[in-house]
């Protein structure tokens, strides 16, 4: 578990990463060059410090060179993002996550060796497109061409055990769980009989997973 995390840059993205880490019980050191973000986050993080993260001696004073998990959440200043990330990498920090604001920014972060590069705008944008177009309740791309989808069961699979319908063979998806009128999620097995109005969670190749509910 990542129990101690340094979050550099307390804009909207850094703030939500930091607060969610706090909510899950981690210690968070937040660093921002601005007075306002630090004042806003002061009482809500383990520590919040106003400092310029592009300065090596500053990072060392704050113990970032000893950290195990660091998130660089600086976006608009690509220069500050790259300088900070490069310093953190030079300390040998084993897990560096950085936010990219463009494809080029992300490519450079990867080239300098950042372990995890995230593109929040691009990822959420793609997700919204899939949710909207296929009218899904939830859609998560798993990589490797697979997706996890929350949706409703199509008429073709309602009222008979999944095993008899050969859902996996005929539709190319695996139904993992279902939620009926009682509101509880249950594992789906070959014996499960889905009903109109259930919700289901399924995985499969993207095109099959997102079109299954239309069958």
Contact 190, 129 (CB under 8 A): no
For ligand ATP, which is the closer residue by CB, 27 or 121? 121
Is 151 a residue that touches ligand ATP (CB under 6 A)? no
Q: Residue 29's closest CA among 58, 71, 1, 57?
A: 71
* Separation CA 95–CA 102 (nearest Å): 21
* Separation CA 161–CA 136 (nearest Å): 23
Least distance (Å) from ligand ATP to the CB of residue 135? 21
Least distance (Å) from ligand ATP to the CB of residue 25? 23
* Closest-approach residue to ligand ATP (CB): 75
Q: Which two tokens stand for residue 132?
A: 């909207």
* Separation CA 33–CA 49 (nearest Å): 8
Q: Identify residues 106-145 at the interface with ligand ATP (CB under 6 A).
A: none
Q: Exactly one of 5, 6, 7, 8 binds ligand ATP (CB under 6 A); which one?
A: 8
140 SS3 class: strand
For ligand ATP, which is the closer residue by CB, 25 or 174? 174
| Residues within the interface to ligand ATP (CB under 6 A) | 8-14, 31-34, 37, 52-54, 73-77, 80, 101, 162-163, 166-169, 174-175, 188-190
């Amino acid at each position: 578990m990542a129990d101690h995390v340094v979050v550099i840059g307390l804009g909207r993205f850094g703030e939500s990463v930091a607060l969610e880490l706090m909510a899950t019980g981690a210690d968070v050191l937040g660093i921002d060059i601005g007075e306002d973000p630090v004042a806003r986050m002061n009482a809500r993080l383990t520590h919040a410090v106003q400092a310029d993260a592009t300065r090596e001696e500053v990072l060392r004073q704050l113990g970032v060179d000893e950290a195990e998990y660091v998130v660089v959440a600086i976006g608009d200043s690509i220069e500050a993002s790259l300088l900070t990330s490069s310093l953190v990498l030079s300390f040998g920090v084993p897990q560096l996550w950085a936010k990219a604001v463009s494809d080029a920014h992300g490519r450079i972060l990867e080239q300098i060796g950042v372990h995890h590069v995230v593109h929040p705008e691009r990822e959420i944008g793609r997700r919204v497109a899939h949710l909207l177009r296929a009218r899904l309740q939830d859609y998560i791309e798993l990589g490797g061409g697979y997706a996890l989808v929350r949706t409703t069961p199509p008429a073709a699979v309602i009222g008979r055990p999944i095993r008899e319908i050969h859902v996996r063979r005929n539709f190319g998806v695996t139904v993992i769980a279902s939620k009926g009128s009682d509101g509880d999620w249950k594992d789906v097995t070959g014996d499960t009989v889905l009903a109109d109005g259930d919700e289901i969670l399924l995985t499969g190749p993207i095109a099959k997973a997102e079109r299954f509910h239309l069958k």
